[in-house]
Amino acid sequence: MPYLAMSLNNLGLMLSELGKREHALRATKEATDLYRKLAKQRPDAFMPYLAASLNNLGKMLSELGKREDALRATKEATDLYRTLAKQRPDAFMPDLAMSLNSLGVDLSGVGRGEEALDAAQEAVGIYGGLVEQLPEAFLQKFLRSLRNLVSRVREVGGSPASHPAVQGAAAILAKLGIPLDAVPGLGGDEEEER
Smallest CA-to-CA distance from 167 within 155, 157, 153 is with 153
Other C-beta atoms lying within 10 Å of the C-beta of residue 182: 9
What is the reported pLDDT for 192? 58
What is the reported pLDDT for 190? 52
What is the reported pLDDT for 154? 94
What is the reported pLDDT for 193? 64
What is the reported pLDDT for 113? 96
Yes or no: say if 152 and 104 are a contact pair by the CB < 8 Å rule. yes
Report mean pLDDT in 10-residue bins for the chain, 194 residues.
94 95 97 97 96 96 96 98 97 98 96 97 97 96 95 94 94 92 68 60
What is the reported pLDDT for 103? 97
Yes or no: say if 133 and 182 are a contact pair by the CB < 8 Å rule. no
Crossing angle for the helix pair 135-155 and 89-109, nearest 10 degrees?
30
Give residue-wise pLDDT tens across range 82-111: 999 999 999 999 999 999 999 999 999 999
Please tell me what DSSP assigns to residue 187: S
What is the reported pLDDT for 173? 95
Yes or no: say if 32 and 74 are a contact pair by the CB < 8 Å rule. no
Separation of alpha carbons 149 and 178, rounded Å: 18
Helix H segments across 88-160?
Answer: 89-109, 113-133, 135-155
What is the reported pLDDT for 191? 52
